[in-house]
Amino acid sequence: MKLSKRDLLKGSLATVASLGSVGPALAKNCDKGIPWDKEVDVLVIGYGGAGASAAIAAKDNGSNVLIVEKMSEPGGNTSVSSGQVLATKDKEKTKVYISNLFKYSRCELDPKLLDAYVEGLTHTLDWMKSLEDNSDLMVKQYAAFPFVEGAESMIYGGFHGASTGGPRLMQAYRNAVEKKRNIEVWLNSPAKRLLMTPENGVIGAEIEKDGKKLNVKAKRGVIITTGGYEYDDETKTNFNLGSPMYALGCPGNTGDGLRMVSEAGAGLWHMSGLSCPLGIKIPGHTACQAFRPRNQIGYILVDQLGRRFADEKRIEHHIGILSVNHYEGYSLNYPRIPCYAIFDQTGKERGSFAPSYGSGWLRHREKWNWSRSNDPEIQAGIVKTAPSIEELAKLINVPAENLSATVKKWNDDLSSPDGIDKEFGRIGAGEKPNAAPLQKGPFYALTIYPTLLNTQGGPRHNEKAQVLNSFKEPIKHLYVAGELGSFWGFIYQGCGNNAESLIFGHIAGENAAKETPWS
């Protein structure tokens, strides 16, 4: 039997569907007589930064636009991010820098997407300023990996204002969408699936609003900006190493967009790509607390056998998972998930073990912040405490003799003439020490897990933000922007997703608005 290209595509989609919760192999095909409950030029699914940027660009290019959002409040991960947006002061150096990040990570880099992304970085600060009248930005230099060639070209911008971080950025987006352009928004309205015909590709979507399923016709294009799958355990298990893996961002990111585009025939890429710091599970809350003790020098990380495994001060925040997702084939487990951060009383007196910074769903939406004293966290059992290292080891189920030996070696190294940690090179002496002994009881332990800011994987797309099928051909009238099918692999430059949402949202909205209406 001779197989057609269409047959091969169906088969490949069935295989993809079997890997995780990405839905069945066929989209919902429609006949020409389908009843429409709403008609627009461009339908944007998801109202975070990428959805807002896409809607703005589509509206400014003459389209009638509708944004639908599953949550009761817009914002997604944008609204709980740092609020900073990546930019560049030298395009060519930035291309070198980002290319090197892909080279070192062995992730797939699309040169045309790189060109589009870097070109977009030259406009991000101006686009941000255009969201509000008389807005002012704070601009700083920032490269997550300053030793990589081209790093000196990287900068970021953020809004000044009393409301800091992601809420401030999303406030500006909402001003541009709702006040300046009066774009229609449906909240509490999840998209259930895309609607397609063989001739026209994607023609709209089925949206659930007020308990009813409505067919929304999109004459020019549908733009998916629903974020990743941080809260979908099945998809995480099938595509990513490391378990358990929790989340820091928006609980609405449950893989809806991934399922919809998979039904439509999208090819997937960057599924191993994650922005995943280390963090702490907080009882009674949905999101986790990031573990980023910048001002603490007296702590170590140990695995489940009480062994250190990394230079704790050189774990880059966004790729923290790479330090712990080691799997031991003999013992058949992840010995570093969870791992444990060990402090002493001197560390407690220095301040927060896990200070709350300017991002995260826990801080901005659940209104929970880590205390400076650490006492509420100790009382809640989030931090374990004991008068000795041996007793602390029993509380966290770590071999006491191993943990005692690890702490003794740490203390001995730091008290030696050079004051240098012999395992990983942390320095306990000089003008800028980044290590201190663990000697003064009581002692403290935090249980540490990989905790996702966001996933990067999803539909492959081109420089026009068109979703591509498994043969790298555009799916008619279907676009994507933001963290779903991100440009980034698993080595990620901080503030890069906010920039990506702005850049490819703009590209998607502009190109969708220029589509010839289907008939």
pLDDT at 2: 39
pLDDT at 25 over 80: no
**Ramachandran angles phi, psi of 470, nearest 5°:** -65, -15
Q: How far is CA 400 from CA 38, 393, 396, 408, 438, in A?
A: 65, 5, 10, 12, 15
Q: Does 428 score more than 80 pLDDT?
A: yes
Report the candidate in 32, 156, 144, 145 with the shortest Cα–Cα distance to residue 86. Answer: 156
Average pLDDT, the chain: 92
Q: For residue 82, is pLDDT > 50?
A: yes
Contacts with 11 (C-beta within 8 Å, 6 or more apart), sequence order: none
Mean pLDDT of 112-118: 97
Say how far apart CA 99 and CA 142 lie, in whole Å. 17
Average pLDDT of the segment spanning 295-304: 96
Q: Is the pLDDT of residue 369 over 80?
A: yes
Judge whether 82 and 359 are in contact, CB under 8 Å: yes
Give pLDDT tens digits for 309-327. 999 999 999 999 999 999 9
Rounded-to-integer distance, Cα 185 and Cα 252, Å: 17
3-state secondary structure of 183: coil
10 pLDDT exceeds 80? no
What is the distance between the terminal CA atoms of the chain, rounded to a whole angstrom?
Answer: 35
pLDDT for residue 250: 97
Tokens of 222: 């549908």
CA-to-CA dists, residue 274 to 129, 250, 305, 363, 455, angstroms: 29, 15, 27, 21, 5
Which DSSP state fits 97? H
Predicted pLDDT at 27: 56
Stretch 103-107: mean pLDDT = 92
Contacts of 20 (CB under 8 A, 6+ apart): 234, 235, 237, 238, 239
pLDDT, tens digit (0-9, with 9 covering 90-100), for 431-480: 899 999 999 999 999 999 999 999 999 999 999 999 999 999 999 999 99
Q: Is a pLDDT exceeding 60 seen at residue 24?
A: no
CA-atom Rg of the chain in angstroms: 24
Q: What is the pLDDT of residues 166-196, one digit of tens each?
A: 999 999 999 999 999 999 999 999 999 999 9
Indicate the pLDDT class of residue 13, thresholds 50, 70 and 90. very low
Share of the chain above pLDDT 70, in %: 93
In sequence order, what DSSP letters do the residues of 301-348 get, joined into one string?
EE-TTS-B-S-GGG--GGGGGGGT---BTTTTB-TTSSEEEEEEHHHH
> How confident is the model at residue 31, as a pLDDT?
67
Could you read off the pLDDT of 278-292 as tens digits, one per residue?
999 999 999 999 999
Helices (H), 225-270: 233-239, 256-263
Mean pLDDT value across residues 48-59:
98
| Beta bridge partners of residue 181, listed in sequence order | none
| Percent residues over pLDDT 90 in the chain | 88
**pLDDT score of 65:** 98
Q: Residue 480: which of 174, 6, 51 has the closest Cα?
A: 51
Tell me the backbone φ, ψ of residue 187, rounded to 5 degrees.
-95, 165
Cα–chain center distance at 181: 28
Q: How many CA atoms lie within 13 A of 280 on its CB side?
A: 24
Helical residues (DSSP H) of 351-494, grouped into ranges: 361-364, 375-379, 389-395, 400-414
> For the segment 230-275, what is each residue's pLDDT rounded down to a tens digit?
999 999 999 999 999 999 999 999 999 999 999 999 999 999 999 9
- Rounded Cα distance, 128 and 157, in Å: 9
